[in-house]
Structure formats: C-alpha cells, structure tokens
Amino acid sequence: MSRATDRAYAGIRNMILSGELPAGSQLGEEALAERCGVSRTPVRDALRRLEGELLVKRNEAQRSFVAAWSLADVEDAFELRAMLEGHAARRAAERIDDVTLEALRACNNAIGRAVRADPPDVAGFLEGNREFHAVILETAQSRRLASLLGSLIEQPVVWRTAHHYGREALRRSHSEHDELLAAFARRDGAWAQAIMASHIHRAFHAYADAHHGLSAIDGPRSA
C-alpha cells in the first residue's frame, strides 16, 4: 500500500474517530483528497479499507458515508472486546515483567490525575486509557489478537460518548485498572481475564446509559 494511501487512511480515520466527520456524513473523494493532500485514488483505497473496518459504509449508488452504529452494533463490539481483551489480559499477566508493570502503574496514575481534575480531563483520560490497554495488548505478544482487536478498540461513537460520562463513571474505570494491576502483580492470568471482561462489560453499560444523551446532541442520524 502506498504512502499516499496510508496518509489518506490515517487522516480520514482520525477525522471519523474525533467526530470531525460525524455519523451519516457523506465522504466526497475530491474534498477528502484536498484535505489529506493526496489524489483521489489513495482516498478511494483508504475508504475501502475503512469500509472493511466498519467505519465507512457505501450505499447502492456507491457513495460513501461515515457509518452510524446502533446500540446493538455497539453491544456486539463490546461483547467481542470482552472476550478478546480478557484473553489478552490473561496472556499479559503470564508474561509481564516488573518494568512493564511500573509503566502501567505510571499510566494509571496519569489517568487518575485526569479523573480528579476539575472539571475532569476527558481527553487526558481517553489518551491514558488508550495507552493502558495498548501496553496490555503488546505484553500479550499475539499479533493475531492485536489484529482482531484493532477495529474494535477505537469506536467513534464511544469516543464521543466519553465526553458525557460523569466523574463517577471515570473513577470506576480508573479503579478497575487498579484491580487489573493487582492481578498483573501476582501474575494471575485467570483473575486478570475476569477483571478485564467485567471492565469491558461495565464500559458498555456506561455507554448505554449515556446513549440517549448522545442521540440528543448528534441528532437522529446518530447510533
């Protein structure tokens, strides 16, 4: 795949994940090519790749749009995440070393500071949370697992909803990370797997609770 296609893919994906391109937005190749600084062919290739990741959908007229996720779609994705990330946590617990454990603790300390800020630093929370889960996945040492999780971990509708979470929901997430760290410190794979699965399921219910608020903000096109 060409560098131009990679650049278009990264640019469009970031615009979708950030909400700059909201659900239902039509994705015109010419406009995207100009924004990404490439020709239309790399944009076309990037859109096909994003369609495979379920971030873009194509209608019968072959026009591309930012995909909207229903609550059932999101629940299905979280269910898969619970299974796959639970397995990743088990593998990580069995392979983790002291240096990685300290890195995870430092990351979760940063998440804690973001949660305690007034108002909560949601962007800092999201970045810290992404890093925390990425380190666990890397420690699991499974390229196939990483590939399978790649399209599930970052979901634009969930990213936007996190901005409407209350402090208590953020605090619970941080506390669950502390429990994971305790399981990792004891190299207990079964415990780590159970905590991670519970952590993902709780995150879905926090999303579902905020779902109606998201719909009110984004309008009827939103999932």
By C-alpha distance, which of 217, 94, 103 is closest to 164? 217
Percentage of residues in the chain having pLDDT higher than 70: 88
Q: Are residues 114 and 200 in the same domain?
A: yes
CATH of residue 27's domain is 1.10.10.10
Residues 6+ positions from 126 with CB-CB distance below 8 Å: 159, 162
Looking at 14, 43, 66, the residue that finishes a domain is 66
Q: What is the 8-class DSSP label of residue 26?
A: B
- The CATH number given to whatever domain includes residue 186 is 1.20.120.530
SS3 call for 57 = strand
User: Please, which pLDDT band fits residue 158 given cuts at 50, 70 and 90?
Assistant: low
Last residue of a domain, one of 15, 38, 66: 66
Judgement on whether residues 45 and 81 belong to the same structural domain of the protein = no
Of 43, 66, 89, the domain-final residue? 66
Residue 215, pLDDT score: 55
pLDDT of residue 45: 95
Averaged pLDDT, 91-117: 97
pTM value > 0.85: no
Task: Give yes or no: residues 85 and 157 share one domain.
Answer: yes
Domain that holds residue 45: 3-66
pLDDT, tens digit (0-9, with 9 covering 90-100), for 29-45: 999 999 999 999 999 99
Same domain, 94 and 202: yes
Residues 48, 139, single domain; the answer is no
Q: What are the φ and ψ backbone dihedral angles of 84, each rounded to 5 degrees? A: -75, -45
Query: What letter represents residue 17's amino acid?
Result: L
Given this model, what pLDDT does residue 192 score? 98
Task: Indicate whether 112 and 193 sit together in one domain.
Answer: yes
User: How many structural domains is the chain composed of?
Assistant: 2
* In the chain, alpha helices (H): 3-18, 29-36, 40-52, 71-95, 98-116, 122-140, 143-153, 156-161, 167-185, 189-218
Q: Please give the structure tokens belonging to residue 93.
A: 């617990």
Neighbouring CB atoms inside 10 A of 190's CB total 12
Residue 223 lies in a domain: no
7 and 97 part of one domain = no
| Co-location of 56 and 147 in the same domain | no
CA distance 147 to 209: 29
